[in-house]
């Protein structure tokens, strides 16, 4: 165990994928139901991965999106673009922690601060000159570790390049949206 990661299990997983690449294919899933105004609720439970539907979760995770009053909501939940920052922070962190463990780099603490710029001209369709999404997201990592600053800087760069959420935000994803 290093950094709370069972490196034997992680290396076994990597070995199994090398033998059977289909183990690496995952399909994550969510359902969402609108409640009122900006309030809507997601349920997350099953996913497909390692060649089967995962049944390790006995109950679903439930999360509410809302907006603050300035965006015509009532703060009954964080808003969707804030949840994106949460996912980005977590994915960069876990990617960093796992790869540090495999490399034998001990981490004492990892903290990150995120800021992202959005101009809601895009959301409100007031102009097509302003994109609806984030114009830039800045992530700053504060890491306490016996590793050198060079090693940590390389680890942060590695996490940026291999984090699934960071890649999904940095590079285009084919998002197919349809009416059932």
Touching a second copy, residues 89-148 (CB under 8 A): 89-95, 97-99, 107, 109-126, 130-143
| 7-19 vs 80-103: helix crossing angle, rounded to 10 | 90
Decide if residue 53 touches a second copy (CB under 8 A): no
CB of 104 to a second copy, least distance (A): 16
Among 36, 53, 106, 148, binds a second copy (CB under 8 A): 36
55-94 burial code (b ≥16 CB/10 A, e <16): eeeeeeeebebbbeeeeebeeebbeebeebbebbbebbbb
Minimal distance, residue 105 CB to a second copy, in Å: 13
Name the DSSP letter for residue 2. B
- Please report how close the Cβ of residue 166 comes to a second copy at its closest, in angstroms: 6
What is the smallest separation between the CB atom of 145 and a second copy, expressed in angstroms? 11
Q: Smallest gap, in angstroms, from Cβ of residue 48 to a second copy?
A: 9
Of 156, 145, 160, 140, whose CA–CA distance to 104 is shortest?
Answer: 145
Question: Are the C-beta atoms of 159 and 92 separated by less than 8 Å?
Answer: yes
Nearer to a second copy, 104 or 177 (CB): 177
Taking the least distance from each CB to a second copy, the nearer of 21 and 146 is: 21
Pairing of strands 52-53, 48-49: antiparallel
Q: Which two tokens stand for residue 144?
A: 């306490």
Please, which of residues 145-174 interact with a second copy by CB under 8 A? 149, 152-153, 156-174
Q: Give the one residue of 18, 20, 106, 148 binding a second copy; rule: CB under 8 A.
A: 18
């Amino acid at each position: 165990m290093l950094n709370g990661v069972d490196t034997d299990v992680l290396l076994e997983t990597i070995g199994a994928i090398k033998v059977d690449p289909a183990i690496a294919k995952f399909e994550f899933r969510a359902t969402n139901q609108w409640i009122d105004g900006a309030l809507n609720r997601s349920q997350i439970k099953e996913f497909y991965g390692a060649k089967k539907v995962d049944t390790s979760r006995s109950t679903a995770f439930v999360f509410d999106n809302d907006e603050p009053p300035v965006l015509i909501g009532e703060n009954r939940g964080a808003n969707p673009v804030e949840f994106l920052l949460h996912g980005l922070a977590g994915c960069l962190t876990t990617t960093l922690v796992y790869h540090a463990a495999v490399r034998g780099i001990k981490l004492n603490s990892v903290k990150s601060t995120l800021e992202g710029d959005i101009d809601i001209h895009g959301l409100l369709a007031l102009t097509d000159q302003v994109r609806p999404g984030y114009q830039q997201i800045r992530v700053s990592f504060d890491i306490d570790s016996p590793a050198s600053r060079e090693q940590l800087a390389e680890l942060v760069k590695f996490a940026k390049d291999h984090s699934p959420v960071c890649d999904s935000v940095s590079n285009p994803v084919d998002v197919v949206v349809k009416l059932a």
